[in-house]
Structure 1
Amino acid sequence: MSTEFGMYFQMGWQHIIAWDGYDHILFIMALSAIYMLRDWRKVLVLVTAFTIGHAVTLALSLTNVVYVQSSLIELLIPITIWITALFNMFKKELSPQKVQLNYLFALFFGLVHGMAFSAYLKSLIGTRENILQPLLAFNLGLEAGQMVVVAGVLLLAGIIVNVTGVKRRDWNIYLSAAIFGIAVLITIERCKEFITK
């Protein structure tokens, strides 16, 4: 692994794991809320769909094909979180085979989240012509960080459902409702910021 690749990988990793990325962590938690540890393969595909989504908009933004006002993106991010959490709470059946809509959420909302990463990554890359290696390394770092969040959510779900006896449906509702509440508060705060700009 080259020094440059490692540096961008670490930046991607830290961007998710650091507290600065709490809104992205909340989204990954919302995506994972309906799953259990035995569903890890499905969650891997889900999070990879999210990574593909934000990789696309990262690339388009870095090459100046797409530009969206950063304050609008910052407002849209918590909206993607509470929509996902709300979907979880009102989903009647928790069979992971019947939640393909979650994959569409992950891919589409990944496009939004990628725009948020783009300003940060663009400031690091500057005007260099070859963006493939930094873009790949950064996205792999993001994916690794997301996997840590997913592992934490799935392990916590396993402990709460299998050890304490809380029903899987109740766990999903508790976690999703908490995420929904936090995301709504963030949305209100960012809406105020967006209006004043």
Structure 2
Amino acid sequence: MSDQLTPDSQGKIIVFGAKQIRRIWHDEQWFFSVVDIIAALTDSDNPRNYWNMMKARELKQSEVQLSTFCVQLKLTSTDGKSYKTEAVNVESAFRIIQSIPSPKAEPFKRWLAQVGYERVQEIENPELAQQRMRKLYQDKGYPDDWVEKRVRGIAVRDELTGEWQKRGIQDQRDFAMLGEAATTEIARNKDAQGLLKNKQAAQEGGT
């Protein structure tokens, strides 16, 4: 069982062993899906039911309710849609892990500590995030020129998204519409004709 941190391009999915853990940046910290944590620790076929049983058992045994550690945040499900899901920060995740008898508990705690520490480092030095992403793609065997283009593209997109957010744009669908609008405007201004020219316009619009 590997406890390696493996992020996707936006950091919204990370992998513990073979299990995907959804997370979201909220209130200046990472929050993680509770049912995903339980699935990773227990290999349960129904982690949601396991979680409900945990909450019921904890309520009977103590005055502390596990659900009080959770917040409802929208996370993307397997169907591609976002639903409100119980999520916890690193500190609360430790509290829940203590209630789960699992040989994976200690490796998972170390993994969570790594998640928090790496995020603090990346906030202080954003270049570390790019270095980590670059190494991830290189380890997967992608050629260096592809990796560099990918990392630069993500950095440019994040910078542009940040500028839009400063101007009151928050919804992901609005980001997509702005990207399409930029592409359309460039195509019109350049009077783009044919596949190649419009492809170039689309690339400029995305940038």
TM-score if structure 1 supplies the norm length? 0.24
Q: Larger C-alpha radius of gyration, 1 or 2?
A: 2
TM-score if structure 2 supplies the norm length? 0.23
Higher relative contact order (CA 8 A, sep 6+): 1
Q: Hey, which of these two has a bigger chunk of strand by percent?
A: 2
